[in-house]
């Protein structure tokens, strides 16, 4: 019988970046229409490589999107851009969990994301 794996070992093998479970508010938009921001929604988790958040519609894999992230630590919203890697229906025709992989973050966005991840990885609430 194989030894039981610790959860952290599994995630280290599977993911390039550790996720933290935080429920910040955000707005999202398709990259082609940045002025058409969708109403506030909630993030489920985030890592240096991407995030999972709630959307009101399904998005095709490969869709370029932007996210306007608001945290209690920042006075201004931070824009993170990426590519949809999956969108799963959770409540029929109402709630979807959408996974976004970050693309080419600008210096400011990368700095803020690094600081957020450093803070959460050194404190509480790693993703289960």
Reported as a single tens digit per residue, the pLDDT across 56-102 is 999 999 999 999 887 766 777 888 999 999 999 999 988 999 999 99
CB contact at 8 A, 100 and 91: no
CA 15 to chain centre: 14
For the chain, which domains are there? 18-121 (2.40.10.220)
Burial label for 9, CB within 10 Å (0-12, 13-18, 19+), is exposed
Distance CA 32, CA 35 (A): 9
Q: Helix or strand or coil: residue 86?
A: strand
Distance CA 112, CA 110 (A): 6
Reported as a single tens digit per residue, the pLDDT across 18-60 is 667 766 788 999 999 988 988 788 889 888 889 999 999 999 9
């Amino acid at each position: 019988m194989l030894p039981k794996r610790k959860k952290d070992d599994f995630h280290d093998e599977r993911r390039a970046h550790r996720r933290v479970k935080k429920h910040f508010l955000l707005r999202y938009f398709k990259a082609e229409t940045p002025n058409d921001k969708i109403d506030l929604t909630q993030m489920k988790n985030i890592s240096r490589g991407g995030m999972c958040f709630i959307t009101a519609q399904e998005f095709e894999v490969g869709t370029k999107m932007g996210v306007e992230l608001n945290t209690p630590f920042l006075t201004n919203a931070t824009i993170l851009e990426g590519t949809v890697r999956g969108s799963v229906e959770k409540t029929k025709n109402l709630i979807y969990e959408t996974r976004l992989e970050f693309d080419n973050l600008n210096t400011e966005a990368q700095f803020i994301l690094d600081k957020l991840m450093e803070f959460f990885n050194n404190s509480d609430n790693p993703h289960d």
